[in-house]
A and B are shown apart, each in its own frame.
Chain A
Amino acid sequence: MAKSRTKQSKTTGRTFLRRPSRAGRFGVYGGQYVPETLIPALEQLTTDFEMAWASPEFRAAYRSILSEYGGRPTPLYEAERLSERLQRGRIILKREDLNHTGSHKLNNVVGQVLLAVRSAKKRVIAETGAGQHGVATATIAAKFGLSCDVYMGSLDVERQAPNVQRMELLGARVIPVDSGARTLKDATNEAIRDWVTNVDSTFYVIGSVVGPHPYPYMVREFQRIIGDEAKKQFQKQIGQSPDSLVACVGGGSNAIGFFTAFMNDESIEMIGVEAGGCGLRSGQHAATLVAGRIGVLHGSASYLLQSATGQITVPHSVSAGLDYPGVGPEHAFLRDSGRVRYISVTDHEALDAFQLLAETEGILPALESAHAIAALKKLPRDQKNASIIGVCLSGRGDKDLATVVNALENTS
């Protein structure tokens, strides 16, 4: 890790990939804006994580669970019919949807639960939006015999019913959260309240590169396996590095995980795709980096969707996993530095992309990942089919069938 800190960009000599500062900052973003009760726990977690991540035994355990249990490495797959249809270049999918439990979330949860076990915690808690992080946490908690409580906004409990059932079958308790907008931000508030109350006995497994330091950094390190693998696969299978990388951004963990290995190679364009909901002008969206302002929520400073007086506003997206008014602090840093370009696509465009990928490739993407597919249409046309475009297909779409079928009925 110390090595990656000093590695510089090939073209400008600038360094984009960095460890956060000792105060847990990426530039001005990040930090530890939490109640005093949690500060000692965060300091302990920072030390525990640094020690574990430097330990070959810990890394070996992490890798072996992800391969033997989780199914890694996930394939890198050239989507030829999709490429043919879109005429944007050769589209290469990193198939995180083929992980056990159906998304990239497993990578992070395996790392955090191994840490929980190392620090002798018997109980884990998590927040979840679409339910993918909740399912991954419930799964790994079952595998290690830990008790597991998952906070989920009651609106999400309704719209992601299959994932609620999965978590319960896995032995977790799903606690519906009725406060506020009844979605992911409220579930996160409630999980933090639980952690403040049970900090001695409980490990809080955060599902994205958000929250107080060390979470944004730790989750990035647990997710960077996506890009580390992809980098080798591009060389081996395609024979060259990608020209562009595309990933969806809610909190931003699959995007950070995909981008990190390529960060200092500035010849590679990177695009983060946020949820444009009903369109930016409607105010009904979750495009935090595109349309938000700097503030503090859930323990870190970053971009936020908020009112003029600093109240957090209710985001909207057809995808429950992107329906969050904040975004990881490292993304805020990457936005300001210009290293990653952030754009948004609407609910409509994402639903179209869902169908397009299903019909051309026989893959049902998660609605979150469908945003990344939809963004491809915004790239310049490339009739020669020369450019190589990597897309992180972060999850599978089975959980979204009811939402998609409903939405398609309403529009037809």
Chain B
Amino acid sequence: MTQSTRRRHHELTDIFADARPVIPFITAGYPTKRVFQDTIRAAVDAGAGAVEIGMPFSDPLADGPAIQLSSQVALEHGIDLPEVLKLTEDLRRHIDVPLILMGYLNPLMQMGFERFARRAVDAGVSGTIIPDCPVGEAKEWRAVSRDHGLANIFLIAPTTTDERIAVIDRASTAFSYCVSVAGVTGARGDVAASTRKFLQRVAAIAKKPYVVGFGISAPRHIKELKHLAHGFVVGSALVRILRDEPAKMAPLEAHRFIRSLVRAAK
């Protein structure tokens, strides 16, 4: 393992060292490159522990309306995979929290796993989340990721059996990502009663840290789940701020929102 590889792995584990990190997700280049960059910097200023950058795909079947729309808009602006990597590299110069790329498998396959992994590492990426590549289909991508020192973060769902939770926990490098309810990404009103039970089940099995996402959109959600997860991902709620706020206000609003979540997680 090279020094930089070790550093990247540590980076991702370190985010859990003395906090329960809030991890914002934003689709690359949404709503514009500029607002995207400013918003991420604002979110990091507000205390985000790591950042997930969405790689837009034409057919995002695990996403709800807010992120679907953001992908469509980003693609219309020409933000496909090569452009995502460029944007990420630019961003890397301005922020020092770990960067994670999240997106669908097909664009990675077309670039070639080797080439994508190399370019992602060059751009300063620490790991990837590929929602349509469950652990059973991930053999090749895991091997390439290992060679390049990229972390693999796999999803755990409420429908996942105990045996599978153990398998996923072993396969994930650094941490796993628990999907709070069966469904697609999107803000939801209340935390479902079943989510607590699900996270308790994961807690009893997982040896690595795990974060929770899908439907986390308010400080009270984090307060409710504070002792049941090691970190919190917020995506659709943030993307909606970018959709609804005027460009000038979006980074400010995002800052205020992320700060409120970070406080709730303390």
Which of B12-20, B86-94, B107-115, B247-255 binds A? B107-115
Q: Determine if B136 and A23 form an interchain contact, defined as CB atoms under 8 angstroms apart.
A: yes
Give, as a whole number of angstroms, the nearest-CB distance from A35 to chain B.
Answer: 5
B residues within 8 A CB of A33? Answer: 105, 132-134, 137
Give, as a whole number of angstroms, the nearest-CB distance from B62 to chain A.
Answer: 5
A residues within 8 A CB of B156? Answer: 36
Given contacts A37-B157, A197-B184, contact A312 B62 (CB under 8 A): no
Q: Determine if B137 and A199 form an interchain contact, defined as CB atoms under 8 angstroms apart.
A: no
Q: Does A134 contact B (CB under 8 A)?
A: no
Q: Determine if B179 and A32 form an interchain contact, defined as CB atoms under 8 angstroms apart.
A: no
The number of residues on chain A lying at the interface, defined by a beta carbon within 8 Å of a beta carbon of chain B, is 39
Q: Determine if A310 and B106 form an interchain contact, defined as CB atoms under 8 angstroms apart.
A: yes
B residues within 8 A CB of A34? Answer: 132, 134
Q: Does B154 contact A (CB under 8 A)?
A: yes
Which of B53-61, B117-125, B201-209, B233-241 binds A? B53-61
Q: Determine if A298 and B61 form an interchain contact, defined as CB atoms under 8 angstroms apart.
A: yes
Q: Which residues of A (303-338) have their CB < 8 Å from a CB of B?
A: 304, 306-312
Interface size class of B (residues with CB under 8 A): 35 or more
A residues within 8 A CB of B111? Answer: 309-310
Give, as a whole number of angstroms, the nearest-CB distance from B177 to chain A.
Answer: 9
Which of A185-193, A350-358, A364-372, A395-403 binds B? A185-193
A residues within 8 A CB of B81? Answer: 309-310
Q: Does A68 contact B (CB under 8 A)?
A: no
Q: Determine if A297 and B137 form an interchain contact, defined as CB atoms under 8 angstroms apart.
A: no
A residues within 8 A CB of B131? Answer: 35-36
Query: Nearest chain-A residue to B132 (Cβ)?
Result: A33
Q: Which residues of A (163-205) have their CB < 8 Å from a CB of B?
A: 179-180, 185-186, 189, 192-193, 196-200
B interface, by DSSP: helix, strand, loop or mixed? Answer: loop
Q: Contact partner of A312 among B105, B106, B183, CB < 8 A?
A: B106
Most chain B CB inside 10 Å of its own CB: which residue of A37, A196, A293, A304? A37
Q: Determine if A296 and B158 form an interchain contact, defined as CB atoms under 8 angstroms apart.
A: no
Give, as a whole number of angstroms, the nearest-CB distance from B104 to chain A.
Answer: 8
Q: Does A41 contact B (CB under 8 A)?
A: yes
Give, as a whole number of angstroms, the nearest-CB distance from B236 to chain A.
Answer: 13
Q: Does A75 contact B (CB under 8 A)?
A: no
Q: Determine if B61 and A193 form an interchain contact, defined as CB atoms under 8 angstroms apart.
A: yes
Q: Does B75 contact A (CB under 8 A)?
A: yes
Q: A residues near B, CB below 8 A?
A: 23, 31-41, 179-180, 185-186, 189, 192-193, 196-200, 293-299, 304, 306-312
A–B complex contacts, Cβ < 8 Å, 30 sampled: A32-B134, A33-B105, A34-B134, A35-B62, A35-B155, A36-B134, A36-B154, A36-B157, A36-B160, A36-B168, A37-B160, A37-B182, A40-B159, A180-B72, A193-B61, A193-B184, A196-B62, A196-B182, A199-B159, A199-B182, A295-B109, A296-B105, A307-B80, A309-B107, A310-B57, A310-B109, A310-B110, A311-B57, A311-B58, A312-B59
Q: B residues near A, CB below 8 A?
A: 57-64, 68, 72, 75, 80-82, 104-111, 131-134, 136-137, 154-161, 164, 168, 179, 182-184
18 extra interchain contacts, Cβ-Cβ under 8 A, other than A36-B134, A38-B159, A200-B159?
A23-B136, A31-B137, A35-B61, A36-B131, A36-B168, A37-B182, A40-B160, A40-B161, A179-B68, A180-B58, A186-B59, A193-B63, A196-B62, A196-B184, A294-B109, A310-B81, A310-B108, A312-B58
